[in-house]
Structure 1
Amino acid sequence: MALPAQVSTVIIGGGIIGCSIAYHLTKLGIRDVLLLERRQLCCGTTWHSVGSVAELRGTRRMTELTRYTAELYRNLEAETGQATGYKKSGSIMLALNRERLMEMERAAALARQFGHDAEMISLADIRDRCPQVVIDDALAGFYISSDGRTNPVDTTQALAKGARMGGAKIVENVEVTGLQVVNGEVRGVLTTEGPVQAESVVLAAGMWGREFGAAHGVSLPLQAAEHFYAVTEPIPGLQPSMPFIRVPDESTYYKEDAGKLLFGCLEKRAKPWALDGIPKDFCFDSLPEDFDHFEPILTAALKRFPLLETAGIQLFFNGPESFTPDGNALMGETPELRNLFVACGLNTVGVMTGGAMGLMMAEWIANRRRPEGFAEYDVARFSPFQSRRSYMRDRTVEALGVLYDVGWPNREHVSARGGRRLPLHHQHKGAHAIFGSRAGWEVPLVFAPDAERAVLQPSYGRQNWVEWAAAEATAADEEAVLFDLSADAKLRVMGAEAVAALHRLGGQNAPPQPGLTTAVWLTATGKIETAVRILTVGNDEAYVLSVPGTERLHRKWLAGAGIAPDAIQTVTSAHGLFLLLGPKVDECLAGVGAGQGAAELRMAEIGYAPAVIAPTSVGGARGVLVLLDSEFAAHAAETLRAAGLVRQGGLYALESLRISVGEPAWPNELGDTVMPQEAGLAQGKMPRTTALVGIALATDTGALYGAEGILCDGRPVGLTSSGAWCHRRGVPVALGFVSNSDGVDAAWLSSGSFSIDMPGGPVKAHLRLIGG
C-alpha cells in the first residue's frame, strides 16, 4: 500500500495502545490517521499478555476509565463484528497475613466510595467460587465480581477494525526510521516507504520507545524485563467460571484459559532484558526459559493448586514487558519536541487499561492539553537522567515485585538510589536522617534519635517515625528548625515582561513586588493545574519553586501559557533552599548578621554566603525561606546551627504542620480535577457541592495516610487526600473532599455524624470546612 504524503496523525506501533489511540481518534472525528507497524499488529508484547481486566484502581478517575475499558471490550464485537473474547469472571485476592488483610480492607473501603462492586469474603466463600485452590493458610479474600479477561490479540484486532471503519489507515511491515523535525517541532516521519508529513506523531512503540526517543533527543525512561508464566495441558473438571486468582504474598496469579490453567508471577527480583537495545527483528518471539528463576513460583503453585501435580505443562513462557521508574505509563506530548506524543511503558497493564489509555491519548492529541486526572502519567514528570541505561537497569530489578508488594503508606523504592544528593547530605546523614527519594534526590524525611533506629518500619498503623516527626513539628512551634528544601524544583524567570506575565498567570495584575507569594495556575477549564511559590527578587527576576521533579512539567506549561522558553532557566541544582521555622529564627538570623523581624524580602549574608531571605509561614509556624548558591549551602547551615538553630526537620513534620491547619497542597489536594472553589481558594456564586475539609479523629486511634473513606451517617461521601498525626491535638488528622448534592457548608457538617472508614470499622471524626 502506498503511503499518503500527508495526514493529521501518524501512530508508530501496532500494539493494543497504538490501535486504541487510532480507534479513539476516529471517534473524535479525526479520521486522517495513519498507523504504521514495523512487522505485524500485536507482535511486540501485546500478543503474550495474560489479558486480565481489573476495574478497581487507586483513584476515582482511573476506576471510571478502567470501567470504560471493560465496557468497550464487551461491546466491540457488536460494533465491528470482530470478537474480543472478553469474559466477566471476577477476581479473588488472597490475604496470607495481617498486613495484606489490612491492605485489602482499605481497598474494600475505597471500592465503597467509588460505588464499585467489591467485598471482603470468607474462606467458605472462596471455596464456593474456586474449590480447586488451597486456602488453609489464608485469612480472607477480596472479591471483585466485575473483573474480567480478554483475548489480547482479538481485542487489538477489533480496535484496529474499528479504527479502519472510522477512516484510519493501518499499514503493516513499514518501519518508521526517523522523525522530520523543524525548530523543535515534529512535522512528520521518515519510513522505509518514504516520508509522511503529519501534524502530530504518536510514539506507541512499547519497549522500542526509549531507543527511538533517544535518537531524537527525547528522554523516555523505560526498560524491558522478563515476565514468566506457564500453561498446563487441558485439565478435566477445571471450572470455566474460575475467577482470576491473585496471591501477591507468593508473587503469583492464576487463571483458567480454555480448559487449561495459566499461572505466572511478578517476582520480587526481576530480570532486566536487552539493556543494549531491543532487537529490531523481534516479532512474536519469546525469551529463553529460565527454570531456576521460575522454580520458586512453580513450587508455590503446586501447593496452591494441587491439581498441578498431575497436570502436564504445555508451555513455559518467558516474554518481555516494559517498565517505568514509578510504575505509571509514559503519556503525552514530550517536553523536548512539540507535536511528538508518547504512549508506552505500560508496566504489564497495557491490555487492562488499553481502552482508557487510547481514549485519553486521543483527547490529549485532539485538544492539545492533558486530560483531567492524568498528571501522574505525564511523560514530563521525569528527569532526563532517569532514562539512562544504568538507572533503568537498577530500578527495573525492583519494578515487577512492587506491583505485588503490600502498598505500604509512605513506601519508598530501594533501588536506583543515591545518585542525586543535596549539598547538606552528609550533615543530614550525620544527624541520623531517614532518606526518601524525590525525583532521584535523597531528601530527609525525618531524623531518628540515633543511627540504630534510622530505618522506616512499614505499617498501616502508626509508623515508627511519628513521634520523631512530632518532635520536629513541636520545635517549629517553640524553637527554630531548618528544613532543607534544596531538592525543590527551581525555575528562574528573567526579563520584566516575562516576570509580569508570570504574576498574571497567578491572578496578580499589579506590578510585581519583591517577596514570596503562592500562585495557583488554572487549566483552560478553570481547574487547578498546579500551585507553586513565586519568589520575586525584582521586577525582572523571579523564581518558580515547586515540589521536586516538576521542572519539565512547569516549563512546558509556562511555554504553553505564552512565556518565551528562553526567558526560563532550570536552576534546581544551582541553588540551595532552606525553610527556617520557629519563634527563635529571628534570633538565629540576627546572630549571624542577617537581620531580624523584617516583613519584606531582603538580601543578606549568612556567614560567607550571600542569600535571599523572604518571610513566610507553614502550618501556622512563622519563619523565612532562604535561597542561596549551592556551594554555600553547607557553610550557611553550619553557621546557623552555631548561632542556635537547634535542630533539623524533615518532610514528614512539614506535612503534619500543613495538614493540621488545613493548607492544601499540590498534588494531594490541588489538581486538575479540582475547582479553586472546591479547595477553598476562591468564592463561588453557587453553593459548593464538593468541598475540602479538615478532619480530626475524635480519639487517638490508628493512623491516617490518605485514601481513607469518609462516611456521613454511614454513607460514603468522600475520601481523605492526605493524613498525619497532629502534635498539637494528639490525634490523627487529614484533609479530604466530601460531596453532598444539596451543598457542603458548616450547617451540613454539623448536622451529620461523620466517621472514617478504617480497617476494623468506622472511627468517629470531626470535620471543618476549609476556606471559602
Structure 2
Amino acid sequence: MAELPKKAKVVIVGGGVIGCSIAYHLTKIGWDDVVLLERKQLTSGTTWHAAGLVGQLRPSINMTKLAKYTGELYRGLEAETGQATGYRQCGSISMATNAERFEELKRSASMAKVFDLPVHVVTPQEIKELAQIVNVDDVVGGIHIPSDGYANAVDITQALAKGARTGGAKIFENTKVTKIRHNGERVTGVDTEHGSIDADYVVICGGMWTRDLAASIGVAAPLHACEHYYVLFEGVEGIDNTLPVLRDYDYCGYYKYDAGKLLVGAFEPNARPWGMDGISEDFCFDEIAGSFEHFEPLLMDAMRRVPALEKAGIQKFFCGPESFTPDVRYHLGESAELKGCFVAAGLNSIGLQSAGGVGKVMADWIRDGIPPADLWTVDIRRNMPFQINRKYLRERVTESLGLLYATHYPFKQYETARGVRRSAIHDRLVAAGACHGEAFGWERPNWYGAPGSTPKYEYSYGRQNWFEANAEECKAVREAVGLFDQSSFAKFRLEGRDACAVLNRVCANDVDVAPGKLIYTQWLNDKGGIEADLTVTRLSQTAYLIVTGAETETKDFNWLSRHIPEGSHAILTNVSSAMGVISIMGPNARALLQSICPNDLSHEAFPFATSQEIELGYAIVRASRITYVGELGWELYIPTEFMTGVYDEIVAAGAAFGLKHCGYHALNALRMEKAYRHWGHDITDEDTPLEAGLGFAVKMDKTGGFIGREALVKQKEEGLKQKLVQFLLKSPEPMLYHNEPIWQGDRIAGYIRSGMYAHTLGASCGLGYVTAADDGVVGPIGADDYEIEIAGVRYPVTASLKPLYDPSNARIKI
C-alpha cells in the first residue's frame, strides 16, 4: 500500500457512504489535504447491504432539504465521475390504511410545498394505477413523490470516493485507526496499524463502531446496532423497473424493484439489538444470523399487500446490522468534548438517502466552525453523557428502529429506557396525577389526570385525550395559581473576578448589573444567529447563575466554556443536579407564597426580573421573579435535598388559593399565547434577535460590545428579510403543530415553527417567520393578510407582531 502521509488537514475515519461523501464535499470546497482511512474495504461495514432507497421527504424542513440535495447530487454523480451509480428516478408511493396516517401524509405534503418538492396526495385508485401489484382494499390514500428513487449504495460510495480522489483526497483501505490523539482540549491526529498522522480535524464516520471509538476519547456519540431484515423475491409477476418505491408504513414494510426481483424490507416496532458483546475484529461484508421467526409476521403482511408474492420464490433472506440512535436522529457536527473532533454517524438505516446532504453540510461546518444551517435536531451536542450507557442504548433501540415507520403523532412519547432522570418530587407528582413524558432523559409531568385515574396518552392529530385537562391547567394559571416542576432546567455557575467581563462579551444583553438582578439574554454567533436563549442572574460581584433549557445543557455549557479566554479568572460549573425548580405562576402566586414565607414579596420589595434568597419551609431557596407563562410568578431554585419539604409546604397551603398542578403542555400553550420564543423552534442559530422581535434584549452600545454585534448592526442598516409573527386561527377546530405553510395570497411566505392550542384565546396559535414577496425587506404585517395550510386546506388567521395575550405585560408586573 502507499505510504501514509505524516500530516493532513482532515482525517476521516470510516469508508462507508458517509465518510466518502464528506471527503468528496471537502474537495469541492477546495480542501485537498484530506485523508480517509478504512479499517477493511470501502462499504464493508453496513453500506454494502443498504436497500438503496433514495427518499426526500423527512419529518422536518431542514432534514428534507438535505435529502432533496442528496437526490439532486445522485442524479448527476455518474456523469461527473464516470462511475456507475445504479440511480433510478422511479418515484415513490407512501400508503395509509387509516385516517390518522393519512393526516400525517397530507401534512407532510403541505410541508413539502415550502421548499418546492412536488408531493401529490393520491387516492387508492391512483395508487393502483401507479403500482398495479399492490392490493389497495384497505388503503385510504397516500402520497406520490415523482422525484424519489433508488440507487446502488456500493456504486454511489465508489463514485463519491472517485470524485474525492479526483479532488486530491487520499483514501487508504485496510488501515485501522487504533487511537485518536488529543491534548485534552482538541484532537491532534490519529494512530493506525501502519503509522501516525497529525491532523487539525478528525471526523469519526465509523458507523456501528462509532460509539466505542468516540467513547475512547471521552466523546458521547450514543448509538447501537440492530438487526435489519429484508427478503429478495424472484419470479414476482407484474414488476419492472418503472415500479415506484412503495412504503406501507402501517404494516412496517417497504418494496423496491431490484434487478428483476422485488426487495421487501421492514422496520418492525420491536427490534432486536445486536452486537451487545462487541463486534468481531474481522467483521467485513458479513451477514448476521437473524431470526426468520421474528420476520415472518411482517412477511405475511407483505404477501397481503402484494399478493403476487404468494407465488414467488424467496431468493435471499437477509439480516445485517444497522446503527440506531436513542431519538432516531443522526449525530452530526463538532463534539462538545474536543475541539476539531467531528462526528457523522448513527444514520438510522437512512444513510444512503442522507449521505449527499450530510457530506455537504459537514464540509461547510468543518471549514466555517459553525453549522451552515439550523441543524440542531441532528447536532451531536444535544446528547447527554449518560446516553452512551450500554443498558440504556440496548433498551431504547428496540423501539427507535420501529419509529422510522411509526405514525409521528404530536406529543408522542418514548416507551423504553424510561425513568433515567427524575426530579426529587417525582413520586409526589405521580400521586398528584402526573402523566410524565420523557425529554433528554428527564421524566417531566406533561399533564395531570383526574384524581384516582391512571393518566395515559391516547394519540391523535386532533384533540388528544388530555385536551380538557390541559384547558383546566391553563385556566388555573390565568385565574388562580399553578405549580410547575421545572427541575430539568440546566443550571450553571460562572465565578471569578473576570466572570462579568467574560459573560458580557458572550451575552447580547448587558449583564454588568447589580447583584440580585436577573437578565434575559441571547448568546449569538458571528453571523448574529441565536446560539442560546436564557437568563443570567448576578449573585455577587464575582458570581452568576445561568439558567437554560434541558435540551441544550451540553451545547450551552460547551459554548460558554469555549468562550472563556485563556488566562481569564472565570470558572464554569454545571450545577444542574444540585437544585430542583418549582415554579409558582398565576395571579394568586404572591398570596400563596407570602402565606408561608416571612420575606416581603410585594412588588416594591421584590420587583420583576430580580432574584432573592427567601425562607420556605425549613429551607433557604433562591426565588427569581420571572415568567414563561405571562403571569405573576416565581421560579424557586431549591437545593435538591430540600425539594420534598418545600413542595409539601406549598401544596398544603395551596388549596386556599386555588393551586393546581400543571404540566409542560400547559406551559407550552401559555407561552404560545404570550408569544414567548422557544430555542430550537422559534429561534435558532440561523435567526437573529432583530428578526425574532427580541431587540429589546440586545444592548448594542454596551462597553466592549458582544459576539455578533457587527452582524446585527449591518442587518439593522439593511432592513429585515424576515420577521417572527404570531398567528391565531380564526376557526377553533384545526390543530397547529409545526411546519405548516404560511400563505400570503398566492405565495408561501414562510412556515409555522411551533404551534399549540391556545385555550385562553380559543383556537390554535402559531409562531412563524414571514418573508417579503420580492426577497426584500419585510413591510407591515396585516392582521388579515395570511392563511395557514393544514393537511392541504388553508385556514384564515389573525397575524400580529405583538403578543395576542396581554401585549402591555401588565399582568406580570403587578
Aligned residue for 1:627?
637
How far residue 595 of structure 1 moved from its aligned partner, in angstroms, is 2.7
Q: Which residue of 1 aligns with 2:591?
A: 587
Offset at residue 216 of structure 1 (A): 2.3
Counterpart code for 2:678: A
Provide the secondary structure at the position in 2 that maps to 1:722: strand
Does 2:672 match 1:654?
Answer: no
AA of the residue aligned to 1:541: A
Cα distance in 2, alignment partners of residues 759 and 344 from structure 1? 33
Give the superposition deviation at 1:193.
Answer: 0.4
Measured at CA, do residues 538 and 94 of structure 1 come closer, stay the same or move farther in structure 2, by a change above 3 Å?
Answer: same
Distance 2:358 2:6 in 1: 28
Please show how residues 427-446 of structure 1 align to structure 2 within 5 Å: 427-446=428-447
Q: Are residue 676 (structure 1) and residue 689 (structure 2) matched?
A: yes
Amino acid at match of 2:764: P
Q: How far apart in 2 are the matches of 1:100 and 1:751?
A: 32
C-alpha separation in 2, matches of 1:256 and 1:386: 38
Tell whether the 8 Å contact from 1:594 to 1:606 is kept in structure 2 after alignment.
no
Measured after TM superposition, the shift of residue 423 of structure 1 is 0.7
Does 2:645 align with 1:613?
Answer: no
Distance in 2 separating the partners of 1:112 and 1:567 = 48
Deviation at 1:552, TM superposition (A): 1.5
Determine the structure 2 residue equivalent to 1:541: 543
Name the structure 2 match of 1:726: 758
Query: Does 2:735 align with 1:703?
Result: yes
* AA partner of residue 81 (structure 2): T
Report the alpha carbon displacement of residue 724 of structure 1 after superposing the two structures with TM.
1.9
Tell me the distance in 1 between the aligned counterparts of 2:467 and 2:541: 43
Task: State the distance in 1 between where 2:395 and 2:324 align.
Answer: 12
- Separation in 2, partners of 1:371, 1:609: 47
Looking at structure 2, the residues matched to 451 and 16 of structure 1 have their Cα atoms a distance apart, in angstroms, of 54
- Aligned mates of 1:652, 1:57 — CA distance in 2: 25
Q: Are the counterparts in 1 of residues 500 and 511 from structure 2 also a CA contact under 8 Å? A: no
Identify the match of residue 568 of structure 1 among 549, 566, 572.
Answer: 572
Query: How large is the Cα RMSD of the aligned pairs?
Result: 1.9
Q: Which residue of 1 aligns with 2:373?
A: 372
Deviates more, 1:586-595 or 1:93-102: 586-595
Change (3 A) 1:205 1:451: farther
State the 1:530 CA deviation: 2.0
Task: Give the corresponding residue for 1:271.
Answer: 272
Matching of residues 132-281 of structure 1 within 5 Å: 132-235=133-236, 237-281=238-282
| Partner secondary structure for residue 189 of structure 1 | strand
Once residues 329 and 352 of structure 1 are traced to their aligned partners in structure 2, the CA distance between those partners, rounded to angstroms, is 12
Distance in 2 between residues matched to 1:406 and 1:10, nearest whole Å: 39
Deviation of 1:236 after TM superposition, in Å, equals: 5.5
Q: How far is the alpha carbon of 1:477 from its aligned partner?
A: 1.9
SS at match of 1:136: coil
Question: What is the rounded CA distance, in whole Å, between the counterparts of 1:656 and 1:493 in structure 2?
Answer: 32
Q: What is the CA distance between 1:59 and its match in structure 2?
A: 3.3
What is the CA-CA distance between 1:386 and the residue it aligns to? 1.0
| 1:209 shift after superposition | 0.8
The corresponding residue for 1:297 is 298
Secondary structure of 2:351's aligned partner: coil
Does 1:414 find its partner at 2:415? Answer: yes
Deviations 1:588-612 (A, max 9, x none): 2222224312113211111111111
Contact preservation (8 Å) 1:23, 1:166: yes
1:67 Cα deviation from its structure 2 partner: 1.9
Pairwise CA distance, 1:393: 0.5
Distance 2:760 2:779 in 1: 23
- Shift of residue 701 of structure 1? 1.0
Residue 132 of structure 2 contacts residue 238 of structure 2 at CA under 8 Å; is this kept in 1?
Answer: no
Is the CA contact 1:105–1:759 (under 8 Å) kept in the aligned structure 2? yes
Q: Which moved more, 1:556-565 or 1:350-359?
A: 556-565
Does residue 601 (structure 1) correspond to residue 611 (structure 2)? The answer is: yes
Range with bigger deviation, 300-309 or 165-174: 300-309
Query: Cα distance, 1:546 vs. partner?
Result: 1.5
**1:185–1:103 CA distance, 2 compared to 1 (3 A):** same
- Which residue number in structure 2 is paired with residue 516 of structure 1? 518
Shift in alpha-carbon separation, 1:251–1:211, aligned structure 2, 3 A: same
Pair 1:749-2:782 in alignment: yes
Segment of structure 1 superposing worse, 313-322 or 612-621: 612-621
8 Å CA contact 1:408, 1:459 repeated in 2: yes
Deviations 1:270-321 (A, max 9, x none): 0000112122211000011411011011101111111112211110000000
Q: Deviation of residue 522 (structure 1)?
A: 1.1
Q: Which residue of 2 aligns with 1:351?
A: 352
The DSSP-based 3-state class of the residue aligned with 1:167 is coil
1:76 counterpart = 2:77: yes
CA distance in 2, matches of 1:288, 1:267: 17
In structure 2, the partner of 1:44 is 45
Equivalent-residue separation in structure 2 for 1:659 and 1:344 (angstroms): 35
1:91-110 equivalences under 5 Å are: 91-110=92-111
Structure 1 contact 289–316 (Cα < 8 Å) conserved:
no
Deviations 1:560-609 (A, max 9, x none): 32356971111111111122111222222222224312113211111111
What's 2:13 paired with? Answer: 12
- Counterpart-to-counterpart distance in 1, 2:685 and 2:777: 20
The answer on 1:124 being equivalent to 2:129 is no
Give the TM-score normalised by the residue count of structure 2: 0.92
C-alpha separation in 2, matches of 1:505 and 1:289: 52
State the TM-score, normalized to the length of structure 1. 0.97
Please point out which of 531, 534, 549 is paired with 1:532: 534
Q: Distance in 2 between matches of 1:90 and 1:770?
A: 44
The 8 Å contact of residues 449 and 469 in structure 2, kept in 1 or not, is answered as yes
- Kindly state the Cα deviation for residue 670 of structure 1 after the two structures are TM-superposed: 0.6
- Alpha-carbon contact 1:480-1:582 (below 8 Å) kept: yes
Is residue 509–residue 519 contact of structure 2 (8 Å, CA) maintained in 1? no
| Partner residue, 1:663 | 676
Structure 2: runs of 5+ lacking an equivalent: 697-715, 808-814
- The residue identity in structure 2 corresponding to 1:625 is E
Cα distance change of structure 1 residues 641 and 744 upon mapping to structure 2, 3 Å threshold: farther
SS across alignment from 2:550: coil
SS in 1 for 2:84: coil
Secondary structure of the 1:133 match is: coil
Give CA deviations for 1:103-129 in whole Å, capped at 9, x if unaligned.
111111111222210011112211211
Amino acid across the alignment from 1:68: Y
State the SS of the aligned residue for 2:626. strand
Residue 76 (structure 1) shift: 1.5
Letter in 1 for 2:666: A
> How many angstroms apart in 1 are the aligned matches of 2:337 and 2:761?
48
Per the alignment, do residues 709 and 468 of structure 1 end up closer, same or farther by CA in structure 2, a change over 3 Å counting?
same
Query: Which amino acid in structure 2 is aligned with residue 596 of structure 1?
Result: L
Distance 1:161 1:124 in 2: 44
Superposition deviation, residue 183 in structure 1: 3.0
* Residues 575-584 or 643-652, more deviating: 643-652
1:583 to 1:288, Cα distance in 2 relative to 1, 3 A: same
Contact 2:474 2:760 in 1 (8 A): no
- Trace 1:468-483 onto structure 2 (pairs within 5 A): 468-483=469-484
Shift of residue 745 of structure 1?
Answer: 6.2
Question: Is contact 2:520-2:536 (8 Å) kept?
Answer: yes
Give the CA deviation at 1:748.
Answer: 4.6
Partner Cα separation in structure 1 for residue 510 and residue 490 of structure 2: 25
Q: 2:793 aligns with which of 751, 761, 767?
A: 761
**1:497-532 per-position Cα deviation (integer Å, ceiling 9, x unaligned):** 123321332223462332222111111211111211
State, as a whole percentage, how many aligned pairs show the same letter. 39
CA contact (8 A) 1:515 1:614 kept: no
